[in-house]
């Protein structure tokens, strides 16, 4: 039940993340995401058969036997046409920042709800709010890592000279493999532990 709850929170947190990309792209002159029906809270258009269903499903089943609780996944990236943007280099930075910013905003909102509601720390509602805060902080911080296709690479590319931005973009075909290796090897564990501590600090609760 806990793993299923985490999975549902993760899916909708990723959807909000992708919607934020599309909304900012639209504000910057690119209506592609709107035209593709991707600025919606309906999960169906955002689901990636492998990243949203198959891989998380397998990891949930593995967690039932191993007790690891480790789940990884992604949604379909929101389509963006940089040729429609008012200032492609600058606007791609804002579009990249929008996703993590949305997750941080959701984490802050859920923290306020947690603090305002008088609920027992052992209740289901408290656990849902805590996981909501933690997962959104994790999504925000992980996506700021400057490895393509993570959002941090878009931000960094906007700051780098063109020749270095191009070199960074060439890593993208190997990006998910690099991220998986970092997660499985434990090299990202300090970030995850920091996020859990921050979640505990914000909510006054730990799991």
Q: Which residues of 96-108 are buried (b: 16+ CB within 10 A; e: fewer)?
A: bbbbbbbbbebbe
Query: Which residue among the candidates 18, 26, 162, 172 is catalytic per the annotation?
Result: 18
Between helix 151-159 and helix 88-116 the angle, nearest 10°, is: 140
Closest CA to 74 of 99, 96, 55: 55
Question: Cα(160)–Cα(152) distance, rounded to whole angstroms?
Answer: 12
Question: Cα(30)–Cα(52) distance, rounded to whole angstroms?
Answer: 26
Between helix 88-116 and helix 124-143 the angle, nearest 10°, is: 160
Catalytic residue flag (residue 18): yes
Catalytic residue positions, numbered: 18
């Amino acid at each position: 039940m806990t793993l299923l709850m985490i999975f549902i929170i993760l899916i909708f947190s990723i959807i909000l993340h992708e919607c934020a990309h599309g909304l900012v792209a639209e504000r910057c002159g690119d209506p592609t995401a709107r035209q593709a029906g991707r600025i919606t809270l309906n999960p169906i258009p955002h689901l990636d058969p492998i990243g949203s269903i198959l891989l998380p499903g397998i990891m949930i089943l593995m967690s039932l036997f191993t007790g690891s609780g480790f789940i990884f996944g992604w949604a379909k990236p929101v389509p963006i046409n940089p040729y429609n943007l008012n200032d492609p280099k600058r606007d791609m930075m804002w579009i990249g920042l929008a996703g993590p910013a949305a997750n941080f905003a959701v984490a802050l909102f859920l923290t306020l709800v947690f603090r305002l509601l008088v609920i027992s720390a052992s209740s289901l509602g408290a656990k849902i709010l805590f996981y909501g805060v933690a997962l959104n902080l994790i999504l925000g911080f992980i996506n700021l890592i400057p490895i393509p296709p993570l959002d941090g690479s878009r931000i960094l590319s906007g700051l780098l000279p063109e020749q270095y931005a191009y070199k960074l973009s060439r890593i993208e075909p190997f990006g998910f493999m690099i991220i998986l290796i970092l997660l499985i090897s434990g090299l990202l564990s300090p970030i995850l532990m920091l996020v859990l501590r921050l979640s505990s600090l914000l909510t006054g609760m730990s799991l």
